[in-house]
Structure 1
């Protein structure tokens, strides 16, 4: 593990414990506007790690709904604002891992399908923005994960050979993007359904504490 010179982190579910937040905002909208009841397990299995556009398309195809993407965007953003994204907690050991990576002198960047406003609000609240050299967000690319474009762009910005870059992801979607960009990917999840989908990760961990051990 000593050959890595940079670490690219995913955000949602990897560094921040946001899936409960998103689920608690989407579930009432789906129930009230479309009569669809979903559990948190449904959220993890079908929604987590995907963009709003992907989830809307999935709802229309798999659940035979007629969800308008712009309307869902407006509804979810209003719900997020009322719920206050600053309340989203860090994943356990997230800050400690960032400290270890920094102490090792490695370049750190964020590659996420979330928008820059989300990054600024949540990581800003936890005073973690300065840990990152740059941010690849939804606005940065035409094709989000699982397309490799976000990681290819990050690799270009780093100006490093791919073998010197580690990616930390919590979903199959993100891991697929990283692997298709030719990068080493550590999958981190306690969710059994997601762990099964992360079989293509180079390493699999249950917690960020386990990831920390890779640097020693």
Structure 2
């Protein structure tokens, strides 16, 4: 029986991808980088630090990684704080509440920074539902490396065989499978170019899930 659900955040709980896209491409323009849509799609699921480490090596960028991160967060935060339409994805709050009511532990394991996670959790009142929050900025390597999910399972004190990961990115699904954790792939209309074939179960909408269905998985 499943006892713990490990949620990704961006593209699963909330669609901040347009905000990230705006921040990245504003910064790419400032840096004189012509990043294709295909290359950008390969970044989804990775931490911003790992993205800039990759870009710095590939394009020989001058600024230090921490300066690149600081500028990205400035642009992101300005858009996040002024976007009145930003909301949780349809059905996800109902699922979170259902899992909570049925005693299923929830852990967040997101590649996002701690600051971005805090912004989302504060704005939408999510903290009471999650026992642990794990940020990708604490890991040397991003998804598809499984370290973040293995750490989330360890914190939850739940065997990986009794955990489920909900992910929308190719990198995230690969990380879940590498960790040996059952993976629900959310085929999000907001996460273009992602391959959900690695997932054990693919959903199109969160109304397809319930605490009862999830507990019976695996």
TM-score by length of 1: 0.85
Question: Which residue does the alignment assign to 2:4?
Answer: 6
Structure 1 stretch displaced more, 139-148 or 152-161: 139-148
Question: Which residue does the alignment assign to 2:119?
Answer: 121
Question: Which residue does the alignment assign to 2:106?
Answer: 108
- Aligned-residue offset at 1:60: 4.8
Between the aligned partners of 1:86 and 1:47, the Cα distance in structure 2 is: 25
Higher RCO (CA-CA < 8 Å; seq separation 6+): 2
Residue 97, structure 1, aligned to residue 88, structure 2: no
- Aligned-residue offset at 1:61: 5.9
String of CA shifts for 1:152-181, please: whole Å, max 9, x gaps.
Answer: 111112222222111101111111111111
Question: Which residue does the alignment assign to 1:66?
Answer: 61
Structure 1 residue corresponding to 2:45, chosen from 46, 49, 62: 49
Cα 1:13–1:192 change in 2 (3 A) is closer
Cα 1:79–1:140 change in 2 (3 A) is same
Structure 1 stretch displaced more, 23-32 or 81-90: 81-90
Give structure 2 stretches of 5+ with no counterpart.
none
- Aligned-residue offset at 1:124: 1.1
- Aligned-residue offset at 1:42: 5.8
Cα 1:85–1:149 change in 2 (3 A) is farther
Between the aligned partners of 2:208 and 2:128, the Cα distance in structure 1 is: 24
TM-score by length of 2: 0.84
- Aligned-residue offset at 1:46: 2.6
Q: Secondary structure at the match of 1:160?
A: coil
Between the aligned partners of 2:30 and 2:36, the Cα distance in structure 1 is: 12
Matches within 5 A, 1:197-212: 197-212=195-210
Structure 1 stretch displaced more, 85-94 or 102-111: 85-94
Give structure 1 stretches of 5+ with no counterpart.
none
Between the aligned partners of 1:192 and 1:22, the Cα distance in structure 2 is: 14
Question: Which residue does the alignment assign to 1:214?
Answer: 213
Between the aligned partners of 2:201 and 2:141, the Cα distance in structure 1 is: 26
Kindly indicate whether the alpha-carbon contact (under 8 Å) linking 1:116 and 1:139 is maintained by their aligned counterparts in 2. yes
String of CA shifts for 1:82-137, please: whole Å, max 9, x gaps.
Answer: 22347442111111110111122101110111122211111211111111011111
Between the aligned partners of 1:118 and 1:192, the Cα distance in structure 2 is: 22
